Structure 1
């Protein structure tokens, strides 16, 4: 199938258009085709994406499209159906379904379900965001990251289902690409993925977890990725330690990411040349974007992997701890964490937010934002986080100041530990003003290797007021016109599937005052 034909089919699927019956495959299946669950995401004030991916334990549906029927209703019993239709699950897209439902009412909860091959999916709950111009009373969201299967159970997702959230922001490392390890809490026999089949299998493993499926069915999700969706510490088209065609491997990983998340077709269209016929394997997959919840909050969601300059001063061409006094490359003007096109996009968006004047402006990205120096005899930083790209970070900070972006907040993940701190106008000046706040979240399950060092790092970098690497979990942010409250939630024992949960800490920020207060 050529690029034009695939684009036509993908667009038809996203717009919930039917295929001719002559093109369809099987009409019934004894097994449950919805074994990977359902999800919704990419919410707007008037629409949302509904997702599922069909799974067959048999012949793979004879490599033909499957008709999937969907309904969205005002009530969980589907007595008041507001829209319905059919969409094809395409073999070239892993039998995934992405229905872009439009013309919904703003700031409303809905229920949805699918039917395919004589089977009905579980019921999911989703919502639209508040309409532009409306200052909503509140929004309640969670941010989460880093859910390595082998390192523990997903009790965090089970507890999150009780948080009554409007949305989940997943900020990277949805899967991990490693092969079976030693002393794993949960094991698997999958090889390290190198092609589309390998990445599809890895998502199928992760999505088989009932707690993760349950949270996907609770509310819409928004996404960015980090490195493990492809390979550890990759940067742009540089894959450390990879043999063979890394561009082709990255394209396969990006396609699998799209297939397995509730994303809009526009994410895929720029990458089609990289997915069909082996041409232009470095083509872009555009996941950075914006969302708004009325005039309460603007979200700017970044991609810090696809366009970044390779890490500085690293012999392995990957992440490393580098010395500030010997790594002059860190400050080279041609280096960027985002790529200069995305930097301009973000600067334009922050300017628009300043003009639109929401109560809060949230930058959603993958890792810890604030300067984190190990101030030993020879001070060092991680070249794989924002400290490895200080020029990009400072340009963002300068834009936040020059535009007077209202109440900046940065959310991140990646480091398997909780960090809470102030964004400084200039991290190199001890008396520099606070211009915003940062919440970097711990992992859902992935181990932390440096928890004992975190108190010392917080002491050495006093713009941070809290750090902890011993606990796994997630953060909950509640926004109102008056204040922001962030609660760090931590499971008691990630090695136990029935683990309890506790509140590790809570912080409050008042509107107009970039100052963190421990609640």
Structure 2
């Protein structure tokens, strides 16, 4: 959809990963799940792997491998050009791109009940090494994907490179940032939410000036519509390239369903959702489509309106990643979800994570033996006063709307003597770096960690380096050291001594082809919480 070429026809990626000769078949976690009959002799009018391949959630002996059989990803019935029959798929993992040294192979079914998506959990691999994988269906081959396993728990790493991304409204910009991300040398990418946007789309596809079929334009409510919305966001050569090049760890925020939804509570004012039955069906559909289109493990597979996405990944003795879901278990936004400084945001017991996830996080932080404790999550933890000068105003959807929850988190960081906490955040559509202090209103308060916020991939279009909103944030919040309203992503490098964050930016996304550069970099040192300019 980007430019004039069809996404699956392009060959892009670090070290020529997307060579056309690669074979990538479909591995399905749903083998034995489907009552549908097998399609014994499938024939496709176009590339059955048009949406590419992906890997996710690396562990020391493997990863999950994903693909989706969809020769016509934008078919308006949401079925991707497939009949209601299961298809047998083969998969291979090798240590080389040409598959001379295949170390694992197998087969499974892509079933219509899961949109012919495939989630193969491969194990038995060696830790801390690069692998290549591919799928095959009836003689047709996918592109070759690259993944990398995590190191064993006892390993001492010299360096770990990773990235954080978020917020990619297809109709508000091109995915050029993903093209550059595909070329980075990274072990893993954390997607912090808003993989799709549910907003209505105009007939010309927003800034992309690409005609969009009427069936793809409305705000989604059912499974067909959510499948189409994912297909639209996913059917792009740049995002396909990024998924082929790196394993992703993904968690949702709000736009995967509805802006600012909370648990069983839809966005205020969205009339159809006020019927609990309608909202339940919508959540069920959105959750299933999210799983179908992304490289998630079996434990992340939803059951109706429930799905567990919070989880922990370890990278040797260097880092533990505590991935949070700040959307599904929280209390409703205070103060009618209006930007303000109302007293309700201070009520004891307010929670962002819910009791079970909160206890899980504290236990994991307290028992971690890693040098760095990284917390990928969705919404700003730091205090974000939006009004300079007298008076204050906070966004109720941020942790500011749940101050007791933030206080509990910071108290636990101190009480458990957590080693080097670093929060990774999305949602804001701006880059930001901030110190996390026990009392943001006291300039002398103790700093307990740092927060790096990754700007959007495309949401809010081009933006600018320092907009008025950014100036207000810097004026009103002494602990916020940097912000930029340009599009891009966050690149991080960990050593035993320091965590470095490079804020990568693009000058424009409303047309393709933008270059990427590092706007600025910050470092936080081992045992010295707080930001320093790199």
Q: TM-score, normalised by structure 1?
A: 0.90
* CA apart distance, 1:359: 1.2
CA contact (8 A) 2:34 2:113 kept: no
Aligned to 1:409: 422
Aligned to 1:211: 238
CA contact (8 A) 1:28 1:118 kept: no
SS of the residue corresponding to residue 222 of structure 1 reads strand
* CA apart distance, 1:242: 4.2
Structure 1 unaligned blocks of 5 or more: 1-11, 275-281
Distance 2:58 2:30 in 1: 15
Aligned to 1:445: 458
Task: Quote the RMSD (CA, aligned, Å).
Answer: 2.1
CA contact (8 A) 1:17 1:85 kept: no
Choose which of 134, 138, 144 in structure 2 pairs with 1:113: 134
* CA apart distance, 1:376: 4.8
Aligned to 1:249: 282
Aligned to 1:368: 380
**What is the 5 A alignment of 1:464-479?**
464-469=480-485, 471-479=486-494
* CA apart distance, 1:183: 8.8
> For residues 336-358 of structure 1, what are the alpha-carbon distances to aligned partners after superposition, in whole Å with 9 as ceiling and x for unaligned?
111111111111111111xx2x1
Distance 2:30 2:419 in 1: 36
> For residues 240-264 of structure 1, what are the alpha-carbon distances to aligned partners after superposition, in whole Å with 9 as ceiling and x for unaligned?
2140411210111011111111111
Distance 1:53 1:297 in 2: 32
> Does 2:224 correspond to 1:197?
yes
Relative to structure 1, the CA distance from residue 115 to residue 370 in structure 2 (aligned partners, 3 Å threshold; closer, same or farther) is same
Aligned to 2:478: 462
SS of the residue corresponding to residue 345 of structure 1 reads helix
Aligned to 2:19: none
CA contact (8 A) 1:146 1:414 kept: yes
* CA apart distance, 1:61: 3.7
**What is the 5 A alignment of 1:233-272?**
233-240=260-267, 241-243=270-272, 244=275, 245-268=278-301, 271-272=302-303
CA contact (8 A) 1:15 1:99 kept: no
SS of the residue corresponding to residue 515 of structure 1 reads strand
Aligned to 1:515: 530
CA contact (8 A) 1:15 1:100 kept: no
Aligned to 1:4: none
* Farther off after superposition, 422-431 or 15-24: 15-24
Q: How many residue pairs get matched?
A: 486
* Farther off after superposition, 115-124 or 80-89: 115-124
* CA apart distance, 1:392: 1.1
> Does 2:63 correspond to 1:51?
no
Q: TM-score, normalised by structure 2?
A: 0.87
Distance 2:47 2:317 in 1: 42
CA contact (8 A) 2:30 2:118 kept: no
Choose which of 5, 26, 47 in structure 2 pairs with 1:32: 47
Choose which of 351, 361, 367 in structure 2 pairs with 1:336: 351
Aligned to 2:20: none
Aligned to 1:146: 167
* CA apart distance, 1:506: 0.8
> Does 2:196 correspond to 1:175?
yes
Relative to structure 1, the CA distance from residue 286 to residue 254 in structure 2 (aligned partners, 3 Å threshold; closer, same or farther) is same
Aligned to 1:129: 150
* CA apart distance, 1:62: 3.0
> Does 2:363 correspond to 1:348?
yes
**Which runs of structure 1 show a deviation greater than 4 angstroms over 4 or more consecutive aligned residues?**
15-22
CA contact (8 A) 2:457 2:487 kept: yes
**What is the 5 A alignment of 1:3-14?**
13-14=28-29
Distance 2:307 2:37 in 1: 32
Distance 2:34 2:331 in 1: 43
> Does 2:392 correspond to 1:392?
no
Aligned to 1:359: 371
Structure 2 unaligned blocks of 5 or more: 1-26
CA contact (8 A) 2:373 2:418 kept: yes
Aligned to 1:226: 253
> For residues 42-94 of structure 1, what are the alpha-carbon distances to aligned partners after superposition, in whole Å with 9 as ceiling and x for unaligned?
11011100000111448854311111110000000000000001111111111
